[in-house]
Copies of this chain bind each other. A is one copy, B any other.
């Protein structure tokens, strides 16, 4: 159809003030999640006692990733069908913008792994993702109730593009459920530093696919700013739409990082400047 023609956007050059552009660190939130779209009761409505799944709505997945118990979906929600579409749109847009991301780090949450998968499929570059437990969201929202994440091996067996050789920078066992918001910012900043260090020599853009808070927690200290307090963090989160996306650019001469205009349009009117 005529209206389907997509004029290729070659916007892969992110603008900075002085033009000394080095690497880029992209951080994005996952797409629409089933539990937020349908309420937590979706699990009990869609699975019978034996764990058989029925798609009761066209915005719920047609089939479910196999896992030990369907109860585990309660604390580890999959994407809705629109969530998949949002992630795929982001990947398509990156491809049209000429962005070719090879280094992808992902929160162990199923919704984040699914989001990264559809971004990769949209980009069409067959990159693999490294699962990083440290990229998970603030544990303050999970009092004494760490989700049972699917293992990288299990996810790879399900067909996700997982780098099964990757050894996480921090093991799940080293994570603390009682962390403060400041601890959360610190945890994410440490991961950002390790990721950036690892790829310093070879270069290339890096993508972290994680949670709403991640756009701020992975970039805040990199920009030389102090972590936000709990109230400020919760306030800024309310404006982070599904698949919100931000872009940090390294100055190749000074090694300093700054927020820049992302190379793709936003989704659902997300404005990256709220991070400034």
A251 interfacial by beta-carbon distance below 8 Å: no
Contact partners of A264 in chain B: CB under 8 A? 58
Report B-chain residues with C-beta under 8 Å of the C-beta of A160: 1
CB proximity to B under 8 Å, residues A157-211: 157-160
| A266 within 8 Å of B (CB atoms) | yes
Interface flags for A1-35 (1: CB within 8 Å of B; 0: not) read 11111110000000000000000000000000000
A55 lies within 8 A of chain B by Cβ: yes
**Size of A's binding interface in residues, CB under 8 A:** 39
How many monomers of this chain does the complex have? 2
Interface centre among A64, A157, A268 (most CB of B within 10 A): A268
- The answer to whether B7 and A58 have CB atoms under 8 Å apart is no
Interface digits, A261-274 against B, CB 8 Å rule (1 contact, 0 not)?
00011111100000
Q: Which residues of B contact A2 (CB under 8 A)?
A: 65-66, 157-159
- Is A36 in contact with chain B by the CB < 8 A criterion? no
A142 at the interface (CB under 8 A from B): no
Say how far A217's CB is from chain B's closest CB, in angstroms. Answer: 24
Q: Are A6 and B62 in contact (CB under 8 A)?
A: yes
Given A81-B89, A82-B85, does the pair A58, B265 have CB atoms closer than 8 Å?
Answer: yes
A117 at the binding interface (Cβ < 8 Å)? yes
Q: Mark A53-66, 1 if CB is under 8 A from B, else 0.
A: 00111111111111
B65 touches A265 (CB 8 A): no
Q: From known contacts A59-B267, A264-B58, A268-B59, infer whether A159 and B89 are also in contact, taking CB-CB under 8 Å.
A: no
Chain A residues close to B by CB (< 8 Å):
1-7, 38, 55-66, 81-82, 85-86, 89-90, 93, 117, 157-160, 243, 264-269
| 6 A-B pairs with least C-beta separation | A1-B159, A58-B267, A6-B62, A2-B158, A85-B85, A3-B65
